[in-house]
Structure 1
Amino acid sequence: MIDARCSCGAVVLLLPGPTNRVAACHCIACQRRTGAPFGVGAFYPADSVTISGAPKEYVRAAESGGTVRSYFCTDCGSTVYWKADNLPDMIGVAVGAIADANFPAPVKSVFERSKHVWVGIDAADVEHLQHGSFRKTSN
């Protein structure tokens, strides 16, 4: 088991371990959510994640037409995880909240139409999409 947590430790997720379902997202909403040029999320089946603490939920419209629900700590403000209508059985976890320099790299780079021109995600095995999302695939 590994964990993901907010800056102050009030919100903690217990995860079954590393996953290969990792995506870098360059959409404007992720840029604003993270305060960075892109967000990186690790995706897990929701029933494999244990959540402790009392995060606040923020709901926004997704480009897909559905909604994304982000969960953040009410004390320190860190976004730790999110749920998207297009992935109802999955939880996206902020890779930065896992804080493991050896965590697997992204296998997808999505919404590259709004990617900052100086950002490069150049590994040969990364799928690059102008739109899109991280769909559920086998682990």
Structure 2
Amino acid sequence: MTSRTASCCCGQLRIEVQGETLGTGVCHCLACQQRTGSVFATIAAYAAPYKVTGTATEYVRTGDHGAKFRFRFCPVCGSNVFHTGEGEEGFVMVAVGAFADPDFPPPQDSVYECRRHAWVQLPEGIARYDKDPP
């Protein structure tokens, strides 16, 4: 089975996932822009089990539909590495940049297109949603 390891910039916080991604997407919502310090977040979902090593700082945010998301950051370098949805323990969402792999597969969907910066160009053929689909 294929495994991938994502880590923070300093290497203190790591997550190892198994198998292929369940999907990769980008989010242009303002919360993700502020959280990442970029104009969008790119995340890849993986099924459990997964293995976390190191210490994480957590931040819980409530999404538009009321779901709570628990984001994990490195307390040393501040890198965002992964997050989970409360009540959704069957999978984890990993920040694609934390894999440090320029050959990582492209996203299949894009959410919060209403907040996408006009100059951001995404691959053709991906599903696009004005907001977050329920």
Q: Which residue does the alignment assign to 1:59? A: 60
* Contact 1:18/1:103, CA 8 A, preserved across alignment: no
Q: Distance in 1 between matches of 2:20 and 2:34?
A: 26
Give the 3-state SS of the residue equivalent to 2:98 in structure 1: helix
Give the 3-state SS of the residue equivalent to 1:64 in structure 2: coil
Q: Which residue does the alignment assign to 1:5? A: 7
Percent identity (aligned): 36
Q: Distance in 1 between matches of 2:5 and 2:92?
A: 14
What TM-score comes out, normalization by structure 2 length? Answer: 0.91
What TM-score comes out, normalization by structure 1 length? Answer: 0.88
Which of 33, 36, 42 aligns to 2:35? It is 33
- In the alignment, residue 127 of structure 1 is paired with which amino acid? A
Aligned length: 132
Q: Which residue does the alignment assign to 1:90? A: 91
Q: CA RMSD in A?
A: 1.7
Shift of 1:87: 4.2
Describe the shift of the 1:86–1:112 C-alpha distance in structure 2 as closer, same or farther (beyond 3 A).
farther
Q: Distance in 1 between matches of 2:129 and 2:86?
A: 19
- In the alignment, residue 43 of structure 1 is paired with which amino acid? A
- In the alignment, residue 109 of structure 1 is paired with which amino acid? S
Shift of 1:99: 0.7
Q: Distance in 2 between matches of 1:52 and 1:74?
A: 13
Q: Which residue does the alignment assign to 1:131? A: 131
5+ residue gaps, structure 2, are: none
Give the 3-state SS of the residue equivalent to 2:69 in structure 1: strand
Q: Distance in 2 between matches of 1:121 and 1:91?
A: 24
